[in-house]
Each structure stands twice: as structure tokens, then as C-alpha cells.
């Protein structure tokens, strides 16, 4: 690799491509963040249903979780993308992708929530009942704080999977980081260099996410007993 800044060198081309790459990076970050928020919110609700729901609600959410685990994300994305149009919902590819990724990760968060909640000894729920706390308060003040630390590592993993999964949005034409890099390659033919550059960017995002998880784990270390 020639590291001078003359035209035709990697650094020059990367500088030329900076705006497109940054906007691709932005799309990757935004779609990841939206999917993670959606998966966390819906996943916790579904986790509550899995752990404490009426039998039919448990069954439905179990069915959902098992469905999502058996179907590839890419198929979900394509299905959502092509399928939503049939419902007369004209959503942009971006939103189809975010919804599909979020729906997929919801199943992971829900299952992870259930596992964490079940790891809290049964006596905790009973003691919380005995002092007269209602269901929501038992969950909020007693069960969740104890389950939280256990949920954290798999939640970070789900986050990593989502970030990596956003590359699949390129297949339905969302110009996220991978596709924007590929568009640049089509111009400058610097295939190896730009793929490596893209890899480094993903490494940075995912490394940062992992660090954030570690930080949260340290910050909540007072919850260890």
C-alpha cells in the first residue's frame, strides 16, 4: 500500500470517499440503535409474558421465540421487505430491515430475560408477595434489579449480532456501511483496501459496544452478592 496522498493511492481515495462512508456508517449506527431499542423493549415485554403470562400467552410467545430461532435473519429481512408491500404498507427498505432485525432480536432478548428472571431464587418473589407488593412492583423493585446483571452479557452479544446483522440490509439496497464501501470500490477498484477499512470500522463499533457492556457491568457491580 502506498500511503502518500497522491490520486490513486489508498489514503487519497479514502479521503475522497469520506462523505459516503460516513453516511453509510451513520445508517449502520442508526439502524443498529433502532433495532436494539425495539428488541430490548419488545423483548422484555415478551420475556415477562414467557415467565409470568397466562398459559396461552406463554404458548404464543414461546411459539414466536422458537419460530424466530429457526428462520435465518436474511429470510426474515427479505420476507418483511417483500411482504410488507402486500399489506399496502409502503415502507422504505431501511424500516423493513430495522423491523426484521428487531423482531429477530426480540426473541433473543425475551429468552435471555426469562433465563435471568428464573435464576432469581423463588423465595425472593415470595418475600416480595409477603410484604404486599403488587406484581409490577415485585418485578420492578425486587426481581429486575437482581436479574439485570445476568441479562447484561447476553444483551451485549445480541447487540453485536444486530450490528453485524445490519450488513444484511445491503442486500435489500439500504446503503449502510458495507454497501457504501462497495459503491466506492466500484469507482476506485480498491477492493482489498476498502474491505479492510470497512472491517476496521466494524471492529471499532463492536469493540466499543463490548466496552460499553463491560463498563455497565462494572457500574452495576454493587448488584453482585
Partner 1 sequence: MTEPALLQATDVRKHFGEIEVLKGIDLTVKQGQVVSLIGASGSGKTTFLRCVNLLEEHDGGEILLDGDPVGYRTVGGTRKRLSETKISAQRARIGMVFQQFNLFPHLTAGQNVMLGLTKVQGKSAAEAREIADHWLGRVGLGERRDHYPYQLSGGQQQRVAIARAVAMQPRLLLFDEVTSALDPELVAEVLGVMQALAESGMTMLLVSHEMLFVREVSHHVLFLDQGRVAQEGSPSEVFDNPESERVRSFLGRFHGIFSR
Partner 2 sequence: MIDYHFDWSVIARNWDKLTDSLLLGLWLAVISLAIGCIIGILTAYARLSGKKWLSIPVWAYVEFIRCTPLLLLIFFLYFGLPEFDVNFLNKTESFVLSLSLYAGAYMSEVFRAGLSSIPKQYVEAAKAIGLRPWQRQVYVVLPVMFRITLPAVSNNLISLFKDTSLAAAIAVPELTFTARQINANTFRVMEVWLTASALYLATAYLIAILLRMVERRYASIR
| 2 touches, from partner 2, partner 1, none (C-beta below 5 to 8 Å by class) | none
User: Which 150-169 positions form the footprint of partner 2 (CB under 8 A)?
Assistant: 160, 163-168
| 145 touches, from partner 1, partner 2, none (C-beta below 5 to 8 Å by class) | partner 1
Measured from the CB atom, the residue of 34 and 143 that comes closer to partner 2 is: 34
| 146 touches, from partner 2, partner 1, none (C-beta below 5 to 8 Å by class) | partner 1
Measured from the CB atom, the residue of 23 and 182 that comes closer to partner 2 is: 182
For the CA atoms of 43, 87, 74, 96, the dihedral, rounded to the nearest 10 degrees, stands at -70
59 is a contact residue toward partner 2 (CB under 8 A): no
199 is a contact residue toward partner 2 (CB under 8 A): yes
140 is a contact residue toward partner 2 (CB under 8 A): no
Q: How far is the CB of 168 from partner 2 (least distance, A)?
A: 6
204 is a contact residue toward partner 1 (CB under 8 A): no
Measured from the CB atom, the residue of 83 and 145 that comes closer to partner 1 is: 145
24 is a contact residue toward partner 2 (CB under 8 A): no
Please select the residue that binds partner 2; options are 19, 191, 212, 215, rule is CB under 8 A: 191
Provide φ and ψ at 19, rounded to 5°.
-65, -45
Measured from the CB atom, the residue of 30 and 196 that comes closer to partner 2 is: 196
Measured from the CB atom, the residue of 127 and 208 that comes closer to partner 2 is: 208
DSSP string, the chain: ---S-STTSHHHHHHHTHHHHHHHHHHHHHHHHHHHHHHHHHHHHHHHHHHHS-HHHHHHHHHHHHHHHHS-HHHHHHHHHHHHHHTT----HHHHHHHHHHHHHHHHHHHHHHHHHHTS-HHHHHHHHHTT--HHHIIIIIIHHHHHHHHHHHHHHHHHHHHHHGGGGGGGT---HHHHHHHHHHHH--HHHHHHHHHHHHHHHHHHHHHHHHHHHHHTGGG--
- Cα separation, 23 vs 129, in Å, equals 51
Query: What mask, x for binding partner 1 by CB under 8 A, covers residues 123 to 162?
Result: xx-xxxxxxxxxx-x---xx--xx----------------
| 132 touches, from partner 2, partner 1, none (C-beta below 5 to 8 Å by class) | partner 1
Burial of 15 (0-12, 13-18, 19+ CB in 10 A): exposed
Q: Which residues bind partner 1 (CB under 8 A)?
A: 121, 123-124, 126-135, 137, 141-142, 145-146, 222-223, 225
Amino acid at each position: 500500500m502506498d500511503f502518500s496522498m497522491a490520486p490513486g493511492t489508498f489514503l487519497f481515495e479514502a479521503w475522497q470517499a469520506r462523505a459516503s462512508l460516513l453516511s453509510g456508517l451513520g445508517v449502520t449506527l442508526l439502524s443498529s440503535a433502532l433495532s436494539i431499542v425495539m428488541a430490548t423493549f419488545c423483548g422484555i415485554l415478551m420475556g415477562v409474558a414467557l415467565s409470568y403470562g397466562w398459559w396461552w400467552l406463554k404458548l404464543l410467545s414461546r411459539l414466536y421465540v422458537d419460530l424466530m430461532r429457526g428462520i435465518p435473519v436474511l429470510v426474515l429481512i427479505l420476507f418483511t421487505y417483500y411482504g410488507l408491500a402486500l399489506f399496502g404498507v409502503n415502507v422504505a427498505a431501511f424500516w423493513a430491515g430495522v423491523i426484521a432485525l428487531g423482531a429477530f432480536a426480540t426473541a433473543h432478548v425475551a429468552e435471555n430475560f426469562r433465563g435471568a428472571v428464573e435464576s432469581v431464587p423463588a423465595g425472593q418473589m415470595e418475600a416480595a408477595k409477603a410484604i404486599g407488593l403488587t406484581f409490577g412492583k415485585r418485578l420492578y423493585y425486587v426481581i429486575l434489579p437482581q436479574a439485570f446483571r445476568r441479562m447484561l452479557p447476553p444483551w451485549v452479544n445480541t447487540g453485536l449480532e444486530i450490528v453485524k446483522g445490519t450488513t444484511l440490509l445491503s442486500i435489500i439496497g439500504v446503503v449502510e456501511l458495507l454497501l457504501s464501501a462497495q459503491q466506492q470500490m466500484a469507482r476506485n477498484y480498491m477492493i482489498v483496501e476498502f474491505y479492510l477499512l470497512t472491517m476496521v470500522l466494524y471492529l471499532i463499533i463492536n469493540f466499543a459496544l463490548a466496552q460499553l457492556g463491560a463498563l455497565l457491568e462494572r457500574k452495576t457491580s454493587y448488584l453482585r452478592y
